[in-house]
Amino acid sequence: MPDRIACFPLRGATSGEISIALAESYAEYAAWQAQAGTIASFVEVARAAGVESVVAERSRSALSWFRAAGILVGDPTASAVEAMVSLSVKEQLYTAEHGVNVAAIVMLHNSTERFVWRLTRFGLVANREKATEWIGNKKVNIRDLVSTSVDEAVDAKLEDWWKELERDSLIEKWDCLVGLVGFPAKLIDPPNWHFDRNMIVQFDETRINAVHYDASYLKTFGLNQFSAQLSRASLIWLVHFAQRLGVKVDANRLWGLKQKTA
């Protein structure tokens, strides 16, 4: 199995195996999302804690050192020094905020992509008929059919399909997930619960822009609001699968409190 959590068999899995995997899939996702949120809010918290004065004092010390070394043109006045310090603080905090937002959206995107990919495995169990249709044109070696049953041959092809899906984009994973189990009705409800495909597309485009270009999309994206919407959506998907598969999830595992085993 390529995944340490979603590793239940595609046929014949017990309700206990499904329950544990579903709870732990959500727990790991929620933990990563919390870390992303902490990172995204770091500069705001730092400002409230008075980081500007710390950065300003460091800038003043640097200017004083340069003046003492005699490498500055002229001798800046006190007001000029403060103006330079103010500009330095503004630029440093902007750079810090930019950096943490890039880090946060990358972390949030990676964890979301992993969560959606794992959910598609539950979808393969919930709607094996649809999944089998998708792999209907896959070639099967006659030798495999001789040594295994038809169901086992289908299992193997579904495993291959799921492994290949890991390399696909977030939006492709999302489309496969919805194609298998439908779209939870609650995610249509405005305003707080609404979460649709277009939001995933915008999220994906903003992450690409942040990683490969100038991250300008982040200025209008509304990372914190989107993260809150995504958090609610993940809960709806959790409930959707628990009800669809007829399982209950253990609260301790759901919140990542399972006992560590050797």
CB 56 within 8 A of CB 85: yes
Average pLDDT, the chain: 91
Pick the most confident of 68-82, 126-140, 223-237, 245-259: 223-237
CB 84 within 8 A of CB 47: no
pTM: 0.88
Residue 152: count other Cβ atoms within 10 Å of its Cβ.
13
pLDDT for position 7: 95
What tens digit of pLDDT does each residue of 164-209 get? 999 999 999 999 999 999 999 999 988 889 999 999 999 999 999 9
* Predicted confidence band of residue 261 (pLDDT cuts 50, 70, 90): very low
pLDDT for position 262: 36
pLDDT for position 216: 94
Residue 133: count other Cβ atoms within 10 Å of its Cβ.
10
What tens digit of pLDDT does each residue of 209-258 get? 999 999 999 999 999 999 999 999 999 999 999 999 999 998 899 888 76
CA distances to 23, 38, 181, 218, 222 from 237, in Å: 12, 23, 10, 26, 22
Residue 7: count other Cβ atoms within 10 Å of its Cβ.
14
